[in-house]
Amino acid sequence: MKHYSLLLVVILAVTCSSLIAEEKAALQPNATVVSLLQGSAGKSVELHLRSGEKMGGKVAQVTDNVVHLSNLTGAEYFDAFVDVKDISAVVVRVAGR
């Protein structure tokens, strides 16, 4: 009976660890800020702007020139439209979902 209990614990541990496994951020050789944002559509991101300001929200839509953020962090009833040329970094949460 001890063997079955140990086997059950091992199976549960493996199953749970695969469910909470971290999604790795992958960078393609031809990646751009636009392509990273398009891949993050529907997800929450934080944009670091060249001015030093940080802006967080959910990526609603991305064009070649503008990203539309909805549900802004700290201002949930507002949206933002950001020129992609003003973005210096894109921060995406990949763990703890």
Q: Is the pLDDT of residue 6 over 60?
A: no
Q: What percentage of the chain exceeds 70 in pLDDT?
A: 71
Q: How far is CA 71 from CA 13, 42, 92, 96, in A?
A: 36, 11, 15, 20
**What are the sequence ranges of the domains in the chain?**
26-92
Whole-model pTM? 0.69
Q: pLDDT tens digits for 23-46?
A: 555 677 888 889 889 988 999 999
26-92: which CATH number, 3.40.50.300, 3.60.20.10, 2.30.30.100, 3.30.70.890? 2.30.30.100
Structure tokens at 70: 């909805």
